[in-house]
Amino acid sequence: MILPVDTLLLIVDVQGRLAQGVVRSEALEMATGKLVRACKILEVPVLLTEQYPKGLGATVEALKELLPGTVAVEKLSFSCCGSAEFMKQLRSFNRNDILVAGMEAHVCVYQTAVDLVEFGYNVHLVTDCVSSRSEENRMLGIRCIEKAGASLTSSEMAIFELLRTAEGERFKAISKIIKE
């Protein structure tokens, strides 16, 4: 079970040109947006990456608006872990449970998740928050990530696992997010 004090949300490369070409892009953006909003309420930090933003564009506007002041780690390696700046930022949060969202499931998300598992992190792949240009590649990425040792979850499952109880102001705020 994940706890807010041990968890970080990693959003991998949800960028303009990539987002336009993946399956269920709108659903991914909506689910990821809800997860970001819940993480903010629960004080779970968010780390954001962008793969070659000059060519693929910046993070989609809907997510950028939810993360004011957050600067994406720019990278060229498919695995986020191939970036020294990413690893520096990741380690600075001192969190061992990593919720992973993003695109593409079979490339950057897959390679990052496998590296994180190999580095000893507990990886929780948020399946409704990952996509690829084809459903076949999306599903293959998810299967291979799970086989590498990651746990599968959904945005709603992760949110309620982080929340734990149906009481208080946090529950009320998160209930509104879930119902949207």
Extract the tokens encoding 125.
């792949």
**Catalytic residue (choose from 39, 80, 81, 108):** 108
Is 6 in the active site?
A: no
Q: Which two tokens stand for residue 35?
A: 């997860």
Give me the count of residues in the chain: 180
**Most distant pair of Cα atoms in the chain: their distance:** 45
Distance CA 178, CA 14 (A): 21
∠ CA 33-18-28, nearest 5°, is 30
How distant, in Å, are the alpha carbons of 16, 53, 94, 126 from that of 159? 26, 29, 20, 11
Active-site annotation holder among 34, 39, 75, 81: 75
Any catalytic annotation for residue 75? yes
The answer to whether 144 is a known catalytic residue is: no
Catalytic residues, by residue number, are 13, 75, 108
